[in-house]
Amino acid sequence: MRKRILGTAAAMALTAAGAVPAPHLAKGLEAGAWELRARGEEGDVQRLCIADLRQLLQVRHGRAQCKSFTVSDAPNRLIVTYDCGSAGNGRTDLRVETPRLAQIQSQGIADGAPFADTIEARWAGACR
């Protein structure tokens, strides 16, 4: 069964919980294993099993429970700000190129220090 998150309000919500994970996230991105690489740097590749769009919008804050505000919501782009209390805050610009490729620019405060990341996110297959 295929489920899809639609609409601005649902962009930050999880799909209805079921035995089968949703094959699509908001903005048409595919759920599954994603590889995150910092742009312009040689370094480690972070691999995540993504089932919730917040994981791409809050890369530095993981699955922390954060309050978010949608700044802009266009068909292939989502800009949000979020506040995670004492864990920090951020602003993320997510640009979807294809269902399996996205560009992420994020900045804010995490662990008491400022950060600014430019990340390329590529779908790598099913989660294992």
Per residue in 21-78, pLDDT (tens digit) is 345 677 889 999 999 999 876 777 899 999 888 889 999 998 788 999 999 999 899 9
Of 53 and 102, more confident = 102
Range of the domain at 86: 9-125
Whether residue 106 is predicted with pLDDT greater than 80 in this model: the reply is: yes
Residue 50 lies in a domain: yes
In a domain, 2, yes or no: no
- The proportion of the chain whose per-residue pLDDT surpasses 70, expressed as a percent, equals 79
Do the domain assignments include residue 97? yes
Is 3 inside a domain boundary?
no
CA geometry: angle 85, 86, 87, nearest 5 deg: 90
Paired with 101 in beta bridges are 98, 122
Give the CA distances from residue 59 to residues 2, 21, 116, 120, in Å, rounded to whole numbers and listed in that order: 26, 20, 11, 12
Instruction: Tell whether 4 is covered by a domain.
Output: no
For residue 112, list its beta bridge partners.
Answer: none
Indicate the number of domains in the chain.
1
Please return the burial class of 107, using the count of CB atoms within 10 Å of its CB with bins 0-12, 13-18 and 19+. Answer: middle
pTM to 2 decimals?
0.77
Q: What is the mean pLDDT of residues 7-21?
A: 30
Residue 8: pLDDT over 60 = no
